[in-house]
A and B are shown apart, each in its own frame.
Chain A
Amino acid sequence: MKKLHGPFLLIVGACAVLVVSGCKKSGEGGGGSNGGGAIKVGEFASLTGKEATFGTSSHEGTQLAIEEINAAGGVLGKKLELLTEDDLSKAGEPATVVNKLISRDGVVAILGEVASSRSLEAAPICQQNKIPMISPSSTNPKVTETGDYIFRVCFIDPFQGTVMANFATKTLKAKKVAIFTDVKSDYSKGLAKYFKEGFTKPGGQITAELDFNGGDKDFKAQLTAIKGSNPDAVFVPGYYTDVALICIQAKQLGLDVPLFGGDGWESDQLVKIGGKDVEGDYFSTHYAPDVATDKVKGFVAAYQKRFQGKTPDAMAALGYDSAMLLADAIKRAGSTDGAKVRDALAATKDFDAVTGKITIDAKRDATKSAVILQVQGGKFKYLETVNP
């Protein structure tokens, strides 16, 4: 039985290496170098996994904001230190990493996440510990309903759903629409619900409602049923990896009507995977980099300089805004005490952000406008802005 040990040791050794390298992740991307006196800010993001481009964009935006704040002298005479944790785009992980950020690292506030399901997981933990949390881009209303320490800098799905319902009625001139929902995602279910309300109220007809599970690869069964219901357009409130495959398989089945969705579509991976099959489709999102206000221009230039010419998407802009708003609130509170920062956040009025003026309402949501983009020639083109 001596022979056993070689392979076993090898595997055990490999595991040990993985564990050690896994641990090094935390603390990376920190803005300040002087750890002792710095104000620690926690961030959790889907840096890898199914929604990796969301987490990465959001993280890069946040990082840029922290660096700019520190370059300008920091907050309350101290630098900000960003502690980032990866939640692997997986359910269950956010609770673990946010608990760690709060109890072990002692952060004063939490920034994150993009996906509503994962923000919903972290929110009760922040609320319990009285640590203010700002979600950059979770749009499901339930996120901030968790408690009075939970904020966001983006619009919410009742608004986004209504925007897309009006877009379908007025711009697409659709009378009959089918809805294809990801039942695994709170974001998708919420958006589908509000779209349906907004679309049926003025007399629109829903021809079919079908469900998929995020992560599925074969959608033809449901798409065949959708095609059989003869819709003028199909509303797919999903995330980009699933949406790209849905667009491909819809075209294969000869479902030649426009597909449209929400901000979960916005990733260059949508075009990389979907190719010509996503051409001409529409989605709503938070901002368009080709709309030229001075604030947007300055942000796009700084981001491109910092991240090798990458154009910032909405997730990056919202990540940036969330960190800027937090710094502003700490300044206004004059303290890093959780309750005082919370009160300052709640009192935010007309904060000048990249994605528009942010006013925090009584439900701790931001009231803001939405934009609608179309996929044209492999790029996202600005179509229209819709005000609340």
Chain B
Amino acid sequence: MDWFFQQLINGLALGSIYALIALGYTMVYGVLRFINFAHSDVLMLGAFAAFFLAPAVAHLFPLPSYAGAILVTLLAAGICAALGILIELMAYRPLRNRPKLTVLITAIGVSLFIEYTCQHKAVFKAETRPFPNLLAQHDFRLAGLAVNSNDLVVPIVTVLLLAGLWFVVQKTKIGTAMRAVSFNHQAAALMGVSINRVISFTFGLGSALAAIAGILYALKAPGIEPLMGVQPGLRAFIAAVLGGIGNLPGAALGGLVLGLLETYAGGMPAISNYRDGIAFAILILILLFKPAGLLGKAQVEKV
């Protein structure tokens, strides 16, 4: 039974990281109806921003400490928000009225551009670097179960950000504008909503989320490299689809489900090699029965 509960803890810890990354994917999709594949690379940039900021911040607040960790995270989130806005401005805005497929392919291009530029030896180099310890880590032992303090921080941050996002989208003026743009670009523009500003804000917010996720991911596995975002990014994208893309609580739920599936499959000695295969086979099954995702609503296409 210990085994079952320990894997539950491992799975929830992994799943809440996926959930956090999935929030960014699903929010941008909700407003713009397109997948920002560069999200996973902004996540990597967030981790690297924290890597370079940490020594400077350590002068103000000695690390590891909560104040220092929060300051590093906020600064990195700010940098990534600016980068996200810049990416949208340079790569996506010129294609605003082109077919969706064009923008999608461009997003893949932006993602590869960031990955391979960052691997160049003049930028970050392709080697793994040790991530600084921003938060003191503790290992708790409860009746034979091991819980790391990080495994508690991640779900708490995820829940707080989910609540914050929900508040922004549902209760604020900019959130109302975001929902209006998501319903109908042109109608929103006719009503006086500044489309460009709303879309920039969406990208900024999504990229800030990616930066926070990147830092938490790096705290969990303290070796960072330019391709670190690819694997969790793909998982988080699938988690967003599983939960019903465009749906914020759905993304969180999808992340948790995927994390748990992977962990339980990976913990079986004979089949640990097939953990992704098993996890994804179950996902396909779920999507066969609920094509719009766990919490997504099926939309009727008007012809």
Question: Interface on A for B, CB 8 Å cutoff?
Answer: 3-4, 7-8, 10-11, 14-15, 18, 21-22, 48-50, 52-53, 88-89, 183, 208-212, 215-218, 220-222, 224-225, 228-229, 241, 244-245, 248-249, 251-254, 269, 272-273, 275
Residues of B within 8 A of A273 (CB): 128, 130, 222-223
CA distance A253 to B266 in the complex (A): 16
* Contact across chains for B90 and A11 when beta carbons are under 8 A apart: yes
Residues of A within 8 A of B272 (CB): 210-212, 221-222, 225
* Contact across chains for A221 and B263 when beta carbons are under 8 A apart: yes
Contact of B275 among A50, A89, A221 (CB under 8 A): A221
Closest to B148 in A: A252
Closest to B218 in A: A217
Closest to A181 in B: B273
Residues of B within 8 A of A50 (CB): 126-128, 225
* Contact across chains for A221 and B10 when beta carbons are under 8 A apart: yes
**Chain B interface mostly helix, strand, loop or mixed?**
helix
Closest to A228 in B: B3
Closest to A275 in B: B130
Interface stretch, picked from B53-61, B115-123, B164-172, B197-205, is B115-123
Closest to A211 in B: B273
Contact of B127 among A48, A211, A225 (CB under 8 A): A48
Closest to B227 in A: A215
**15 A–B contacts, CB within 8 A, in A order:** A7-B89, A88-B119, A209-B269, A220-B10, A221-B263, A221-B266, A221-B275, A224-B6, A228-B2, A229-B269, A241-B128, A245-B221, A248-B222, A252-B146, A269-B127
- Taking residues whose C-beta sits less than 8 angstroms from the other chain, chain B's interface range is 35 or more
Question: Interface on B for A, CB 8 Å cutoff?
Answer: 2-3, 6-7, 10-11, 13-14, 89-91, 94, 113, 116-117, 119-122, 125-128, 130, 137, 139, 141, 146, 148, 217, 220-223, 225, 227-228, 231-232, 262-269, 272-273, 275
CA distance A245 to B224 in the complex (A): 11
Contact of B228 among A210, A217, A222, A248 (CB under 8 A): A217
CA distance A248 to B130 in the complex (A): 12
Closest to B141 in A: A254
CA distance A208 to B130 in the complex (A): 30
Which residue, B228, B264, B268, B272, has most C-beta atoms of chain A within 10 A? B272
CA distance A318 to B14 in the complex (A): 40
Closest to B125 in A: A48
CA distance A232 to B6 in the complex (A): 20
Residues of A within 8 A of B90 (CB): 7, 10-11
Closest to A180 in B: B272
17 further interface pairs, Cβ-Cβ under 8 Å (given A11-B90, A211-B273, A224-B267) = A7-B89, A7-B94, A11-B113, A48-B119, A48-B127, A49-B126, A52-B128, A89-B126, A208-B269, A210-B269, A210-B272, A218-B220, A221-B10, A221-B265, A224-B6, A225-B268, A269-B128
Residues of B within 8 A of A209 (CB): 269
CA distance A236 to B140 in the complex (A): 25
* Contact across chains for A220 and B269 when beta carbons are under 8 A apart: no
Which residue, B121, B128, B227, B268, has most C-beta atoms of chain A within 10 A? B128
User: Given the interface contacts A48-B125, A217-B220, A272-B130, does A253 sit within 8 Å of B146 by beta carbon?
Assistant: yes
* Cβ of B173 to closest chain A Cβ, rounded Å: 29
* Contact across chains for A224 and B223 when beta carbons are under 8 A apart: no
User: Given the interface contacts A50-B225, A52-B126, does A217 sit within 8 Å of B269 by beta carbon?
Assistant: no
Contact of A48 among B113, B126, B220, B265 (CB under 8 A): B126
Closest to B149 in A: A252
Contact of B3 among A224, A244, A254 (CB under 8 A): A224
Residues of A within 8 A of B126 (CB): 48-50, 52, 88-89
CA distance A221 to B94 in the complex (A): 45
Closest to A1 in B: B94
* Cβ of A182 to closest chain B Cβ, rounded Å: 11
* Contact across chains for B223 and A244 when beta carbons are under 8 A apart: yes
Residues of A within 8 A of B2 (CB): 228
Residues of A within 8 A of B217 (CB): 217
Contact of B223 among A3, A14, A245 (CB under 8 A): A245
* Contact across chains for B10 and A241 when beta carbons are under 8 A apart: no
* Cβ of B279 to closest chain A Cβ, rounded Å: 11
* Contact across chains for B91 and A53 when beta carbons are under 8 A apart: no
* Cβ of A4 to closest chain B Cβ, rounded Å: 5
Contact of A221 among B91, B130, B264 (CB under 8 A): B264
Contact of A220 among B14, B113, B141, B227 (CB under 8 A): B14
CA distance A253 to B267 in the complex (A): 14
Residues of B within 8 A of A216 (CB): 231
* Contact across chains for A52 and B148 when beta carbons are under 8 A apart: no
* Cβ of B292 to closest chain A Cβ, rounded Å: 29
CA distance A18 to B116 in the complex (A): 9
Residues of B within 8 A of A48 (CB): 119, 121, 125-127
